[in-house]
Amino acid sequence: MVRKALTMNVYPEFIDEYIKRHDELWPEMKDMIHEYGCSNYSIFVNRETKTLFAYLEIEDEEKWAKAADTEINRKWWDFMADIMETNPDNSPVECPLEMAFHLD
């Protein structure tokens, strides 16, 4: 199991909309996330800085990377592009974080 953490940015006026869209996450998106080896996926928001902090556990980096090219993932990125910082392909701008400490 690989632990991953990253930050993203949501536009200030869309924090509640970001949360709403994730509360209503499409069943096929949930299925894809699990199918590509991800579990224990959480996203936190800092309303003051508009920063999103994501933590997820994946089975394998290569398998997880393939999830980006699925039709449902591309559809999700397009759906979310109007409320957060994105790259030209509508993928979220992510800043991967390096693990500094872990304790079970």
Predicted pLDDT of residue 100: 97
Annotated catalytic residue 34: no
3-state SS string for the chain: CEEEEEEEEECHHHHHHHHHHHHCCCHHHHHHHHHCCEEEEEEEEECCCCEEEEEEEECCHHHHHHHHHCHHHHHHHHHHCCCECECCCCCECCEECCCCCCCC
Q: State pLDDT tens for residues 28-63.
A: 999 999 999 999 999 999 999 999 999 999 999 999
Catalytic residue among 22, 30, 34, 66: 22
Predicted pLDDT of residue 55: 98
User: What does pTM read for this prediction?
Assistant: 0.93
Domains of the chain with bracketed CATH: 2-96 (3.30.70.100)
